[in-house]
Chain A
Amino acid sequence: MSDYRRVLLEVKNLKKYFPLRHGFLGRGAGTVRAVDGVNLHILQGETLGLVGESGSGKTTAGRTILRAFNPTEGEIIFHLQDGPATDIAKLGSTELRAFRRHAQMIFQDPYSSLNPRMTVRDIIAEPLVAGGVAQGDEVDDRVREIARRCQLSLEHLRRYPHAFSGGQRQRIGIARALVVQPQFVVCDEPVSALDVSIQAQILNLLMDMQKEFGLTYLFVAHDLSVVEHVSDRVAVMYLGRLVEVAPTADLFYQPLHPYTEALMSAIPALDPDEVMKPVILEGEIPSPANPPSGCPFHPRCPYAQDVCKQDMPPLKEYKPGRFAACHFADQLSLKGALKS
């Protein structure tokens, strides 16, 4: 990866805790640490894949970065192309609303993310109208333009979401996110609710749009093959923390973190001769309300030593551009999904 490219987004020590409430007046039943100290940066025009299993906090991280949730702690600094650096974690609600046009989101569920009571035209126009980006005829012009690019026809605009299939709905969602021409888009598992045949269409559309508008994506997903297809770099999340960040190819050839290795081994192989011995993880992902001591992965890690139970390994750069949070990242030789 070229490091000459501009950094668009810097996330520093991002935390999002949800209070757990029980019983009368809900006093102190602990907190769920959904996102627990995430540091990452995303370069202008790249796609950063964010992967992890269910409950790892990747969706929460994506949503917190856009302030769909208010972060508990941390900074979310945008270096927009033509403007000063903005830490949106500190913005008040009016300034935040004004900022929204630069950062948008594409949702996982194409059914629940479109208001069934609005026409497609109104849905797509919402960011323009609500954010005060455009008025009058310009709204319709821009809606028509983005709808065309997202392969929706004009007559679709009069219809309601119930008239559309999952793939078409997802295109509506994409049109809504892109109509304000944002610089940054969080794609929250945009294809995981779709049929495999439709997935490719949507992914291609996303990649075309990226090329056309110079978009920067944070691509949240649990499907590694999808992530490999679209991402320039990949960040692996486990229990609210990043355990590894690396350029896509490097990560898939040789992961540095045992958790990444386990994830890789779970990708179904297309070639039946190429049998990869799966690394079976024991147990479930621990509860983020009660994370284990030391390295959060140690109860399930096949390589765990005593030190892992006590000390939390920090996310360190082991090779240029390759970060991992493991005490033995430079000693283990782990297998990736791809063979060199």
Chain B
Amino acid sequence: MGKGFDMTQITEAVDVTPRPTPPPSVIARDAEIKYYTASQFQLMWWKFKKHRLALIGMVILGIFVFIALFAEFLSPYTPGARTPNYLFGGPQGLHFVDADGNFHLRPFTYALSAAMDPETFLLEVKEDTSDPWPVYFFVKGDPYKMWGLIESDIHLFGVEEGHLHLLGTDQLGRDLLSRLFHATRTSLTIGVVGLFISFFLGLIIGGISGFFGGSIDEVIQRFIEFIRSIPTLPLWMALAASLPREWSPQRVYFTITILLGLLGWTHLARRVRGKLLSLREEDFVVAARIAGSSDARIIARHLLPSFLSYIIVDLSISFPYMILAETSLSFIGLGLRAPVISWGVLLQDAQNIQAIALYPWLFTPVAFVIISVMAFSFVGDGMRDAADPYSR
């Protein structure tokens, strides 16, 4: 340093880098910068990924959504198609090895015949191994209209001769697997639509309650308490019973969805309100106000992003309740009715002791219900942990 050096330059030069960090390796530095510039959702995703069960739940849900989307294509039969000579037929197994012990790459199935044992009165199932029915991919089957738009008769898998019922058939000889796939679509959409209605009602009503406070808040909260104090099952029954019997099943389906949504928003509204009340006092909201932000800007830029993650968590947790509500309503005969197919409708067939004793495969929809509810719970769990990536 030579003569005439200006002291202020020293301070400038030193000040530009506040608290110098020890220089780590370049890779570590890149990772650091990636973390520093990570947005909320990136942070949430990183945290979510660490939750093994939640990831598994996510994959399962993905499969369910896939089934719901492509039910027509994935199922080997249309839901109404009957196999008249195979009523209450049990699940047919897939085989690779035939009766002579030869291995075939293409799986095949056998015709099943059931006969009552005259002495024990037990049903005895016999496979007719003389005539194997090979299973093909992309077979031509019953024609269908995908999403009511695309006409086709190609099914993902099926047989060209005989019949294939991997999960058995019901009393009319309809393929349970195909019906289950279609039911998945109905039950999931009911959940999604009902949830969306709840979501909007909860967000708006809870938002009004929390943002304005005061006597508006008081009135809304008392109203919510009133709704929540009504026992749900009798209320559903009353509402469902009040639906005119002559309504088409589609209309009933639509109404039930709306009803579930109209009753389900209270929980969410409370959460939104609570979150808003606590956020209103946060310093960064006060700071935004002092910065000159309008109410609309504060809501859009500061409040909504702050509690959206919590709301998503809440949604994923309350989704199973929607599905369960639909299933139980339909099961007791007050919800959806045939020919609409939902998990609950399918389970109506399994209501008697005979079904448990003789046709246990009619219970497979229960497995779908349980698996989907658990998958949602796992995902909700993982999202809850990830929802606040800033917790220290």
Contact = CB atoms under 8 A, between A and B. Distances in A.
Contacts of A108: 283
Nearest to A94: B294
Per DSSP, chain B at the interface is helix
B292 A115 contact: no
Nearest to B309: A117
Contacts of A90: none
Contacts, number: 95
A148 B284 CA distance: 22
A130 B36 CA distance: 25
Given A66-B290, A131-B291, A165 B19 contact: yes
Interface stretch (B37-45, B61-69, B174-182, B311-319): B37-45
A151 B20 CA distance: 12
A151 B33 CA distance: 19
Contacts of A66: 290
A109 B283 contact: yes
B39 A160 contact: yes
B283 A163 contact: no
A242 B67 CA distance: 71
Interface in B14-28: 15-19
A115 B291 contact: no
A173 B284 CA distance: 10
A78 interface: no
Interface string B35-57: 11111100100000000000000
A127 B305 CA distance: 19
A6 interface: no
B293 interface: yes
B262 interface: no
A156 to B, nearest CB: 8
B19 A167 contact: yes
B305 A167 contact: no
Contact of B15 (A68, A118, A151, A167): A151
A152 interface: yes
Interface string A143-183: 00000100111010011101101011001010010000000
Interface residues of B, number: 33
B390 A116 contact: yes
A300 interface: no
A100 B290 contact: yes
Given A151-B15, A151-B18, A159-B37, A113 B283 contact: yes
Contacts of A158: 36-37
A295 interface: no
B282 interface: yes
B142 interface: no
B297 interface: yes
Interface string B281-300: 01110111111111001000
Interface in A68-86: 68
A116 B305 CA distance: 10
Interface string A311-327: 00000000000000000
Contact of A114 (B17, B284, B289): B284
Contact of A117 (B15, B286, B293, B306): B306
Contacts of A126: 287-288, 291, 293
Task: Name which of B39, B282, B292 has the most chain A CB atoms within 10 A of its CB.
Answer: B292
B294 A97 contact: yes
Task: Name which of A63, A114, A162, A167 has the most chain B CB atoms within 10 A of its CB.
Answer: A162
A275 interface: no
B291 A152 contact: no
A107 interface: yes
B218 interface: yes
A171 B18 contact: yes
Contacts of B218: 25-26
Contacts of A159: 36-37
A107 B292 CA distance: 16
Interface in A84-107: 97-98, 100-101, 104-105, 107
B95 interface: no
A104 B38 CA distance: 29
B287 A167 contact: no
A112 interface: yes
Task: Name which of A108, A132, A159 has the most chain B CB atoms within 10 A of its CB.
Answer: A159
Nearest to B388: A116
A159 B36 CA distance: 5
A63 B283 contact: no
A16 to B, nearest CB: 14
Contact of B305 (A114, A117, A132, A176): A117
Contacts of A155: 33
B40 A167 contact: no
25 contacts: A68-B286, A97-B292, A97-B293, A97-B294, A100-B290, A101-B292, A104-B290, A108-B283, A109-B283, A112-B282, A113-B283, A113-B286, A115-B302, A115-B306, A116-B390, A117-B39, A131-B292, A153-B17, A158-B36, A159-B37, A160-B37, A162-B43, A162-B390, A171-B18, A176-B291
Given A68-B290, A105-B290, 13 more contacts: A63-B286, A97-B292, A101-B292, A112-B284, A115-B288, A115-B306, A116-B390, A117-B39, A131-B292, A151-B16, A162-B390, A167-B19, A171-B18
Interface of A: 25-26, 63, 66, 68, 97-98, 100-101, 104-105, 107-109, 112-119, 126-127, 130-132, 148, 151-153, 155, 158-160, 162-163, 165, 167-168, 171, 173, 176
Q: Kindly list the 3 A-B residue pairs having the minimum CB-CB distance in the complex, ordered from nearest.
A: A131-B292, A163-B36, A100-B292
